[in-house]
Amino acid sequence: MRRKPAALILALLLTAGIATSAEAAFPGGDGRIVYLRFTPRAMTPRTIRPDGTGDHELFNAPSGAYSFNASSDGRKLAFTTGNGQRIAILDRLTGDSTKVISATTLHAQLLSSAAFSPDASKLVICSIHRRAPTERLFVVSADGSGATRISGDASMCSPDWSTTDRIVAAHVGRRTKIFTMDPDGGNVIETVTRPSLEHNKQVGPVPSWSPDGSQIVFVSAAGKQRTDVWRMDADGTGLARLIHTPYRWDWVALYSPTGTKIAVSTTTGPDWYSPEEIWIYDADGTGRVRITDTKVDEYLQTWIPI
């Protein structure tokens, strides 16, 4: 996701830590997948059914919106807009968008992504700052009030909020670490430490909860190898490689709302900058089916429950 005019846009977003959203699905029926399509001229939010049908632009999505995350009932989508300056919420029923919070409110340079709490009353937000820690987590009410910083001295981003009321986030540096914590920032657990990518230490694992909050999926490289999809239990045990795609790079993975499927953004070629397409797997990593085939980047965002 990191080349040419459109890829350059995404590369800049990644460098700032703001295009790294692929959030967990809340329980429900397997509705529609939201993804970003990158062409040389535009970044377009789109939606598609898990069988590859019904592909179209996301209705009422503001221009330049990205880092989408669905609420538990599928009605609302949180997203980043204004070149990383605002977090807003799109009501899919009415088509209205409402600003939640701005970067200036959090004294931040940029806002990266946001994930809903199980009841959609709050959001966990990753903000980007000039001074260390450069990536910080805040919990804020859905109306933008009561912003509270929950991360400590370590940079953390790519947050996701589970049905069991735990937040997962990633730290990317010389080593990639995944943490879980309570919504007030307490009870922090370092679940896993993995090698960072040799060529780009800004690309994180984007951890994503299973619908029941018992497992986490993420992408990771083993040394200088290409990235694959890994899975672990919520406490960090049971770490295992779930999906291995030889001569390809996996960049984002997330569970379906039923927990029976996993969607993955995977490159179409052996180079890390090759265009990405979206594939659907059974939850055990078998049954690979490709649902997009456009020869441009298709970057997973969220899976809307129905």
Please determine, for residue 108, whether its predicted confidence score (pLDDT) is greater than 50: yes
Give the CATH architecture of domain 4-305.
6 Propeller (2.120)
Residue 257 CA: distances (Å) to CA of 23, 123, 158, 285? 11, 19, 19, 16
User: Where do the domains of the chain lie?
Assistant: 4-305
Please determine, for residue 154, whether its predicted confidence score (pLDDT) is greater than 60: yes
> Over the stretch 46-63, which tens digit does the pLDDT of each residue have?
999 999 999 999 999 988
* Average pLDDT for 203-207: 74
pTM over 0.85: yes
| DSSP H/E element including 34 | strand 30-38
Separation between Cα atoms, residue 262 and residue 281, nearest integer Å: 5
Q: What backbone torsions phi and psi does residue 13 show, to the nearest 5 degrees? A: -65, -40
Beta carbons of 2 and 200 less than 8 angstroms apart: yes
> Over the stretch 190-202, which tens digit does the pLDDT of each residue have?
998 776 554 444 4
pLDDT-derived band at 9, boundaries 50, 70, 90 = very low
pLDDT-derived band at 8, boundaries 50, 70, 90 = very low
CA distance between the termini of the chain: 30
Please determine, for residue 244, whether its predicted confidence score (pLDDT) is greater than 50: yes
Residue 139: other Cβ atoms inside 10 A? 20
Exposed (0-12), middle (13-18) or buried (19+): which is 284, by Cβ within 10 Å?
Answer: exposed
Please determine, for residue 130, whether its predicted confidence score (pLDDT) is greater than 60: yes
pLDDT of residue 117: 98
Q: Which residue has the higher pLDDT, 193 or 304?
A: 304
Separation between Cα atoms, residue 98 and residue 277, nearest integer Å: 31
Lowest mean pLDDT among 21-25, 37-41, 54-58, 145-149: 21-25
pLDDT-derived band at 263, boundaries 50, 70, 90 = very high
Please determine, for residue 164, whether its predicted confidence score (pLDDT) is greater than 70: yes
Please determine, for residue 24, whether its predicted confidence score (pLDDT) is greater than 70: no
Maximum distance among all Cα pairs of the chain, rounded to whole angstroms: 47
Please determine, for residue 7, whether its predicted confidence score (pLDDT) is greater than 90: no
Judged by DSSP in three states, 212 sits in coil
pLDDT-derived band at 14, boundaries 50, 70, 90 = very low
> Over the stretch 180-190, which tens digit does the pLDDT of each residue have?
999 999 999 99
